[in-house]
Amino acid sequence: MDRASLQERFGIIGQSEAIRHVIDRIRQVAATDITVLIQGESGTGKELFAQAIHQLSRRRHKNPLMVNCGAIPETLLESELFGAEKGAYTGSVERRQGYFEEANGSSLFLDEIGEMPLTAQVRLLRVLETGEFSRVGSSATQRTDVRVIAATNKDLGREVQAGRFREDLYYRLSTVIVQVPPLRDRREDIQTLFEHFQHRFSQKYNTASKRLDDGARALLLRYRWPGNVRELRNVAEQTAVLLRFDVVSADDIRPYLRGVTAGGGDLSMLPVAAPHPVAGDEPSRERELVYRALLELRVEIREIREQLDAVLAGLRGAMHRANAAERHLPVLVRDPEPIREAPYIEDAPFEIESAGQDRYETGGGPGGIPPSAGPSVGLQTLEETERRLITEALARFDGNRRQTARALGISERTLYRKLKELDDDGSRA
């Protein structure tokens, strides 16, 4: 059977390269008994291609059995596939046949094979390799002649890596893989499929046939179609029944597209770009939004960095001041507080220098430099100078410590500490 005849017989619509490749693969494997794994997203029509494989095989004279592995509870799946003896489990009141017995001589289509539990996978691997199985609750071995066609919307390779699917069963099932493309990868078939479904439903519901305008066709091509052919069929059925106009526009179709609102494309589901995008189309607006978000994020990060730098600088300054206080820096180092009145302090260095000059001059030695007794001869120590300055300042301000501290350029707290140290030194003396 040639490709066109096969498509007409089984209702496979489309002339894209992707769909032609699938049909050619089906024609190659259908006449054999080889195990086939059909992979594709949900809604791509995997069951339709499984039916085509069976009807083109030598088993076409017997009806195939279709089993959805994801719809049967895990505790009952093994008994459904391989049968069960009476009393094998709670509620088993009689012996019953499984699908492998019923499908003997025909084909068994295992849909959603990726949902099969590991215990059932072991039994399935045995029947694929040897054709033998046993009912649940029985040790007697039985034989069957069944061709298995499996289908899944999962990536079984990743399921194997995750430990949810047996590697040996994957290799046994994937002898031949038929990859059904999603609708967004065969955009040239979208309009043909839509018009086919709409014409069919118009006849079914006795409604007038409708024509798509250019905007509607462009919207169908841009839309991502997450539900694939199943979703397209659903939208065509709704428009055939609910729309009363002879010409269908983009605004008429948009409410029926999941992820597309009346105001335009939804960013949560990006539409596929048209083959020749024009200025101002959806992808351009999406790129603009992404760039704007990145720029705003960059500005926020810079502001956060500047705030962190200011906080760290403040912490470093506080730590430096705390360390300086612990080390008891000399009293002559001025505090940050501005000094409003300090004439006495300003004159102090000159008085100290002149006193030193007199002592140097009386010490004899050329140029007023003392003799070999050393540079410390005749000089006052820092503590003695401190004591004299504090005492004279207190006397000048009649014991007023606040004015004394202000004149000396120190805080009252520092003055109190210095007075306490002087009193301690006096008591020890």
Mean pLDDT to the nearest integer, 140-158: 94
| 3-state DSSP assignment of residue 212 | strand
Residue 282 lies in a domain: no
**Is residue 131 within 8 Å of residue 143, measured between CB atoms?**
yes
pLDDT at 429 over 70: no
Mean pLDDT score of the chain: 79
Residue 333 lies in a domain: no
pLDDT of amino acid 84 = 86
- Quick one: how far is CA 276 from the chain centroid? 31
Domain match, 267 and 223 both? yes
Q: How many CB atoms are closer than 10 A to CB 385? A: 16
Domain match, 321 and 232 both? no
pLDDT at 298 over 80: no
Residue 217 lies in a domain: yes
Q: Give percent of the chain with pLDDT exceeding 70.
A: 74
Domain match, 56 and 154 both? yes
DSSP characters for 320-353?
A: HHHHHHHTT--TTSPPSSPPS--HHHHHHHHHHH
pLDDT at 347 over 60: no
313 CB-contact burial (10 Å; exposed 0-12 / middle 13-18 / buried 19+): exposed
pLDDT at 367 over 60: no
Domain match, 189 and 115 both? no
Domain match, 86 and 164 both? yes
Mean pLDDT to the nearest integer, 125-144: 90
pLDDT of amino acid 305 = 76
Residue 270 lies in a domain: yes
| 3-state DSSP assignment of residue 155 | coil
Domain match, 83 and 200 both? no
pLDDT at 270 over 60: no
pLDDT of amino acid 130 = 93
Task: Using the Cα atoms of residue 83, residue 87, residue 90 and residue 93 in order, give the sign of their dihedral.
Answer: positive
Residue 124 lies in a domain: yes
Instruction: Write out the two tokens for 122.
Output: 């072991």
Task: Please give the residue range of the domain that contains residue 297.
Answer: 291-326
pLDDT at 261 over 50: no
Domain match, 203 and 264 both? yes
Last residue of a domain, one of 128, 161, 181: 181
What pairing do the DSSP bridges indicate for beta strands 260-261 and 264-265?
antiparallel
- Tell me the CATH number at 139: 3.40.50.300
| 3-state DSSP assignment of residue 110 | strand
Q: DSSP H helical segments within 188-281, as ranges?
A: 190-204, 214-222, 228-242, 250-253
Mean pLDDT to the nearest integer, 141-170: 94
- Tell me the CATH number at 271: 1.10.8.60
Lowest pLDDT segment from 170-179, 256-265, 336-345 = 336-345
Taking each helix axis from N to C end, the angle separating 412-428 and 401-408, rounded to the nearest 10 degrees, works out to 100
pLDDT at 286 over 70: no
Domain match, 131 and 63 both? yes
| 3-state DSSP assignment of residue 149 | strand
Residue 19 lies in a domain: yes
Highest mean pLDDT among 39-53, 87-101, 358-372: 39-53
pLDDT of amino acid 46 = 95
Question: Between residues 379 and 251, which one has the greater pLDDT?
Answer: 251
Domain match, 354 and 421 both? yes
Domain match, 297 and 360 both? no
Which residue is listed with tokens 């430099």?
Answer: 369
Domain match, 89 and 137 both? yes
pLDDT in tens, 199-232: 999 999 999 888 999 999 999 999 999 999 999 9
Residue 334 lies in a domain: no
State pTM to two decimals.
Answer: 0.60
The Cα 380–Cα 390 span in angstroms is 15
pLDDT of amino acid 326 = 55
Domain match, 250 and 357 both? no
Residue 335 lies in a domain: no
In the chain, how many domains are there? 4
